[in-house]
Chains A and B, each alone.
Chain A
Amino acid sequence: MKARYGMAIDLDRCTGCGACMVACASENNVPRLPKATERTGITPMLVHPVSDGKTGVAFIPMPCMQCEDETPCVKVCPQQAVELDRATGIVMQMPQRCLGCRYCMTACPYHSRYFNWWDPAWPAGMERTLNPGVAVRMRGVVEKCNMCHARLHAAEDKAAEAGKRQIEAADYVPACVESCPTGAIRFGDLNDGASEVAKASRTPEAFRLLARLGTEPKIYYTSKRAWVRALAERHPAGEPSQPAAPVAAGGGEVKHG
């Protein structure tokens, strides 16, 4: 049976601690390079702080949105270095085939793709801590979140050893999902109607970012706060939303949450 792996991220639970970002980088052998900035660093999982301009604060963890339809990056790659795996719904990046033209990065509306501006490097000896399941990417290629595909492989191997066709859901959990201290990131098969993600994706609190573009992302977000749900789209009618980090608010007010 085909799976469609997706996530449902509860934005009312995400406190923006950043554990997912570090766990992701560790799992995927992402280097920390001294010159990298927020515009050149590689953060396959990236948490965006947002605010409603008053006292409302939210953090939006953004992995690759795993677009299902008209997948922008898959469509534009000239040499099939990106493909949508129909068996899992995962948009796979193959850095070995990438020539680094970065067309996919301009195509992605979510900025979920990252270019290796430098050769990966670790302080002497630290390469011993690299995860053996994931190959290191060289400079000049694009990479992104592939839902910890190595973990899926490991789960499939485990199932095959046990003579089973299907993997155990508990055996395949991406690093960010595993690391979340509040359980805000839920992961599973959207095709399985009984799964937690599938259920969450059907609630009225669920939304997807820029869904009107028609790319059918498989990362859902949920929030009980209307202003957070409104972040899904740009607003043709109102002022453009402005990004803001949490800041000190003046005055002696009590906020009713």
Chain B
Amino acid sequence: MIPTRRDLFAWGGGLAGGMLFTPVPWKVLDDVSIWSQNWPWIPQPARGPVEEKLSSCTLCPNACGMRVRMAAGSPVGLSGMAGHPVSRGALCPLGFGAHQLNWHPSRLRNPLHRGRKTSWEEATAAFRKALGEGPIAIIDGRTGRAASTVLERFAAAHGATYAAARTAEEKALGPYQRWTGVPTSSLGYDLENARTIVSFGAPLLDGWATPGRFTRLWSERAAGSSNPALRLIQVEPVQSRTAAFAWRWVNVRMGSESALASALARVLMEERLVTARGPMPSESVNELAGKTGLAAETIQSLARALVERGPVVAISAGDNPSVAALNVVLGAVGARGGILRRGGGTKSPVPVEALSGRMRAVLIDSTVPWEVRPNVDAEVFRFAAWHGGTTTADWLLPAPGFLEALTDVPTPPASAIETYAVATPLMAAEGSKDAARFLAEIDPAAGSLEDAIKARCEAIYHAGKGGLIGPEPQPVKGLASADKLYEALGNGAVWTGEAGTPGGLRCDLKEWPGPSAMESPAGWTDGWTAPVLPPLAAKLYRESDLRQAPARSDV
């Protein structure tokens, strides 16, 4: 029998209908739904046991305590370490995305010589040669670390200059160091005991010093209150976030912060609102007021507000001697709620700005912000974990990235309390080397990081002061040995020393300081040592209206 066209249609129809009663179409549908959820090119998180480690953030000197969630050997999330004496469980907005930085596309993986791939051997040979010819300088970005000891020791042994870049907070403490001889790394603000804070452009609520410290304090004592226990007066020509949330915002003309500080000091002394007597600003209140754009009466009422509720302390955005002198007039230097001398700290090295002229070579540590370029004509060896774009460095040497190498974390700038922590490597750093190890390989006498950290532990242990905060809080005296301290710090504990005490600081002003150039306030990104920002920072800069994109590359 020859099938007719009709039969074909009948069979076709029957087949289609019959298929519905087989698993085939349903299995296909099911598979489609699974495929459409699991395309092979969609990355999925690695499975593995999740564990939490304690550490400290090392991306800027502000030493926030961190909890690091680790899965399958990689960090998968960061959060603040509750109970940390300075950072108080907070991290900055950038910090929350820091764990992704090590895979940033700008990560430096190979030593580069003027943009060309080279080897560590060549870099070492070139540096040895330069060292032989001299003179050279070694620039540190964060003093007081074990690595700093190595850099400094190497510099001393080879006749090199050991210089350091400073943060805005350290610069702001500069005048007190000049007047009292106490290094900035031993000075801190006793914000916790202050009741009035007048900030001359310092971004207290938006990236000043250790982020959790002032924001938490402000939140507890000032936020939302018209008569706060902590009065924050912000002097700033623009309405920054700090100005917007201050108790009072004093809108001065750009660059007239020194003039206002001087005018306030003059009013305080003329109206005998303070007991201090000393050199007065040469200009009259009216002359100074003219510079600031404020009425003299406004300045007078502001001066009265300053002393209404003590202790009061003034904070500047950068090195501003007039503001420092105002603190002297207010009696805030060496006083409770003012500027205190605390334990720890090291002699301040030569500031990087002081370097000039011709040198044979300059070695820059990875803790020095990318933008900092010493004003010297030299062959530059720059350590960095990331390529920050344009550079004048001849050699770019890959340093370990975030949480990839052992480093210690000394007291953050501006802190009134001494702290010490250690960040142990949580990941392997392939092909990278930090400046301290690079120099120790050239001259083993410079010593190792481990030894320097152990030495610091010995010192803390023998002093027997303070205690540990972290997984197992206990006083130092309760520890069996310095090795136990080293071990505890390696597990994420933070050593906290004693808070600074009033007294021990004496400033005698010979004359009222002249006006100083205003330094633009630092923000979250300025203290950030890495030349790149975490990819997720784009949520703040590009994917929302929350913040202006920083000048620094955000890729």
Assembled-state Cα–Cα distance A256/B225 (Å): 12
Tell me, yes or no, whether A10 is within 8 Å of chain B by CB: yes
Residue B346 lies at the interface, judged by CB distance under 8 Å to chain A: no
Q: How far is the CB of A20 from chain B (nearest CB, A)?
A: 8
Q: Please tell me if the beta carbons of A184 and B219 are within 8 angstroms of each other in the complex.
A: yes
Interface flag for A155 (CB, 8 Å) = no
Is B118 close to A, CB under 8 A? no
B477 interfacial by beta-carbon distance below 8 Å: no
- Give the distance to chain A from B28, nearest Cβ to Cβ, in Å: 18
Inter-chain contacts of A56 with B (CB < 8 A): 244
Contact for B43 among A16, A25, A57, A127, CB less than 8 A: A127
Select B100's contact among A129, A246, A250, A251, beta carbons within 8 Å: A129
A254 touches B103 (CB 8 A): no
Among A15, A57, A133, A248, contact of B215 (Cβ-Cβ < 8 Å): A15
Residue A110 interfacial (CB < 8 Å) = no
The bracket for how many chain B residues form the interface is 35 or more
Q: Residue B302 contacts which of A128, A135, A248, A254 (CB distance < 8 angstroms)?
A: A254
B-binding segment of A45-53, A64-72, A159-167, A211-219? A45-53
Question: In the docked arrangement, what's the CA distance between A250 and B226, Å?
Answer: 23
How far apart are the CA atoms of A23 and B99 in the complex, in Å?
Answer: 11
In A206-257, which residues have CB < 8 Å from any B CB? Answer: 223-224, 245-257
Q: Name A9-24 residues within 8 Å CB distance of B.
A: 10, 12-13, 15-19, 21-23
Interface residue from A16, A19, A27, A49 paired with B91 (Cβ < 8 Å):
A19
For B547, what are the chain A residues with a Cβ–Cβ distance below 8 Å? 18
Q: Which residues of B403-450 have CB atoms within 8 Å of chain A's CB atoms?
A: none
Query: At the interface, yes or no: B48 with Cβ under 8 Å from chain A?
Result: yes
Expressed in whole angstroms, the minimum distance between the Cβ of B497 and any Cβ of chain A is: 24
How many A-B contacts are there with CB distance less than 8 Å?
247
* CB of A56, distance to nearest CB on chain B (Å): 8
> Which among A12, A29, A128 has the highest number of chain B CB atoms within 10 Å?
A128
Within 8 A of B (CB), among A110-128: 119-128
- B343 is an interface residue with CB less than 8 A from chain A: no
- Provided the pairs A47-B546, A128-B74 are in contact, do residues A252 and B251 lie with their beta carbons within 8 angstroms? yes
B248's partner among A25, A30, A126, A255 (CB-CB below 8 A) is: A255
Contact call B46/A132, Cβ cutoff below 8 A: yes
Residues of chain B within 8 A (CB-CB) of A109 are none
Q: Which of A22, A121, A133 contacts B536, CB < 8 Å?
A: A22
Contact assessment for B99 and A254 in the assembled complex, using a CB-CB cutoff below 8 Å: no
User: How many residues in A have their beta carbons less than 8 Å from beta carbons of B?
Assistant: 75
1/0 per position for A16-44, CB-CB distance to B under 8 A?
Answer: 11110111011101101010111011110
Contact of B93 among A18, A57, A127, A250 (CB under 8 A): A18
Q: Once bound together, how far apart are the Cα atoms of A254 and B46, in whole Å?
A: 55
Check if A19 sits within 8 Å of B249, measured CB to CB. no
A92 to B100, CA, bound (A): 27
Q: How far is the CA of A25 from the CA of B242 in the complex (A)?
A: 25
- Say whether B492 faces chain A, with CB atoms less than 8 Å apart: no
Q: B100-128 vs A: 1/0 string, CB under 8 Å?
A: 10111100000000000000000000000
Q: Is the CB of B224 within 8 A of A129?
A: no
A178 at the B interface (CB under 8 A): yes
Q: Is B253 in the interface zone, CB < 8 Å from A?
A: yes
- Smallest distance from the beta carbon of B7 to chain A beta carbons, Å? 40
Alpha-carbon distance A178/B206, docked complex (angstroms): 18
Q: Give the most central of A19, A46, A120, A125: most B CB within 10 Å.
A: A19
User: In chain B between 43 and 57, which residues have their CB closer than 8 angstroms to a CB of chain A?
Assistant: 43-48, 50
The 8 A-B residue pairs whose C-beta atoms are closest, nearest first, are: A41-B543, A12-B224, A126-B103, A130-B45, A252-B293, A182-B219, A57-B244, A181-B90
Query: Can you list 16 pairs linking A and B with CB atoms under 8 Å apart?
Result: A15-B215, A38-B545, A48-B546, A59-B546, A124-B105, A126-B100, A126-B103, A128-B72, A129-B103, A133-B45, A178-B80, A181-B91, A182-B215, A246-B239, A248-B238, A251-B251
Given contacts A17-B211, A128-B103, 8 further A-B contacts (CB under 8 A): A17-B205, A38-B544, A43-B544, A57-B245, A96-B37, A123-B105, A126-B104, A255-B251
